Amino acid sequence: MRRLVLAFVMALAMIAVVPSVATAASPPQIGRAFNGLSDKGFVQISASAEAGIEGLTAHIRSYATGEELATVTDFSLSSGTVQDGVFTAGTRVQLDKLGSYQIDVDAMDTLGQRASKRDAGSLYYVIQPIFSALAFDHTTITYSRRTVQVQGTLTGLWPTDGLVRPISGHTVRITATWDPTVEVQTAADGRFTAQVPLTQEADITARVEHASGYSFAESQTQRISVQPAPTRFPIRVAPRQVKYGEPVTISGQLTWKSPDGWQPMANRQFGLQRCEEFERCEFVPDVPKTDADGHFSVTSVPTATGYYQVGFTATDETGQPDLFIATAVSKAPVTVLQPAVFADFTAARDESDQVVACGHIDFPNHLPASIPVQIQYRAPGTASSWATVAEVQAGGWETSGHTFSATIDQPAAGQWRAYYAGIPHEVQTAVSTKVRVPAAT
């Protein structure tokens, strides 16, 4: 029995020391191979491995023959982790010719597992052009100056040694947003100069295209703005204050600052608007063009207090807005006194011999917030001025207007009328008909 127990214990001990079998890590995965954006002489490889990347080898081959021309092995992690990252070579690829080459990649992880990928990417073994900051003789264009001069220097970083040298005899394209491209050749020292004609505001950039042995590059962009020639368009309204229904004359002169100084703009069409105080505007029809001296004169009937406004936009020979001449806008005020009318007025003595004066006042276009009506009296047979003997507020609306009424103790005979003083710059004055009332009995 003791032997059986001992054997069982030894069996358990042997089971306890048997190691567990670990899950095997997956082999390396090779992403893609490429070279740097700014320096084309170095190879970069994206790769991953659960156990971590231990080593990478890049085989540089000719696309035409498949011949291996260079081998790169000294890669180190440049971003990410050794489990999943980008690895950059520590030495430059040395090739006899510039051009595009195939990259095959071998990878090994820390467990010794290996993977290979044919044509993992391309090595663009070319010169990377570099533009200096562009220099401009000016950054605005005007009516008489519509060309800018652009200067710069084109150098390149060689993939063989990483040195920067001038690029000579190379085509540089100067592009503007909407205008044709200008092409120039670099000099022996890489310098270039271009005259760029412009027809409007533009962003200017220098660029070189992909070519044999060269990559693409472009400079920083420079905004060229338009500085339009100034214009003047002062106007006046005469008279500046009228009663509703009366005409006014709007006149003015359109001029511009030409290269020879201020000059009239003859035979030019413009817009004329009649505007109320709250910016409600309507165009005045049948406005003529300016005359030979840039003048104009228009008769119009304003309907409310506000202003007249002119607007001018120059056009080129195609009928499009001329960006090199500034638009002109100006305004002049006008005051329109709205009508007030007494629809009727009566004055007579009541049974107590007091004078009862009453009537209706109407405002066809504009109702004021308050309507003070003066009752006025003048003795008979005299040329004396009218005397205000009462003032009342007109009230609610009836068929012919807002009602008012006043009772006055005046025993003498005389003439009576109602008077509304109006509101300055807003409502006209109004006077009723005169009524003769005899003396009290």
Q: Rounded CA gap, 227 and 138, in Å?
A: 11
Complete edge-to-edge strand list for the sheet that includes strand 281-283: 241-243, 328-337, 306-312, 271-276, 281-283
User: Is the pLDDT confidence value at 159 over 50?
Assistant: yes
84-94 per-position pLDDT tens digit = 999 999 999 99
Q: Which of 5-14, 169-178, 267-276, 403-412 has the lowest mean pLDDT?
A: 5-14
| Contact by Cβ (8 Å): 231, 327 | yes
| Contact by Cβ (8 Å): 126, 217 | no
Question: DSSP readout, 113-155?
Answer: -EEEEEEEEEEEE-BEEEEPPPEES-SEE-SS--EEEEEEEEE
Of residues 3 and 122, more confidence is placed in 122
Residues in the chain: 441
User: Is the pLDDT confidence value at 6 over 50?
Assistant: no
State the pLDDT confidence band at 2, using cuts at 50, 70 and 90: very low
pLDDT at residue 23, rounded to an integer: 61
208-220 per-position pLDDT tens digit = 999 989 999 999 9
Q: Rounded CA gap, 249 and 417, in Å?
A: 36
φ/ψ of residue 152, rounded to 5: -165, 180
Q: Which of 68, 47, 58 is nearest to 113 (CA)?
A: 47
Cβ-proximal residues to 295 (8 Å cutoff; 6+ apart), any chain: 251, 252, 253, 264
8-63 per-position pLDDT tens digit = 334 444 434 444 444 689 999 999 999 988 899 999 999 999 999 999 999 999 99
| Contact by Cβ (8 Å): 331, 307 | yes
349-389 per-position pLDDT tens digit = 999 999 999 999 999 999 999 999 999 999 987 777 999 99
For residue 425, give the DSSP letter.
Answer: T
pLDDT at residue 267, rounded to an integer: 96
User: Is the pLDDT confidence value at 278 over 90?
Assistant: no
User: Is the pLDDT confidence value at 152 over 50?
Assistant: yes
φ/ψ of residue 4, rounded to 5: -65, -45
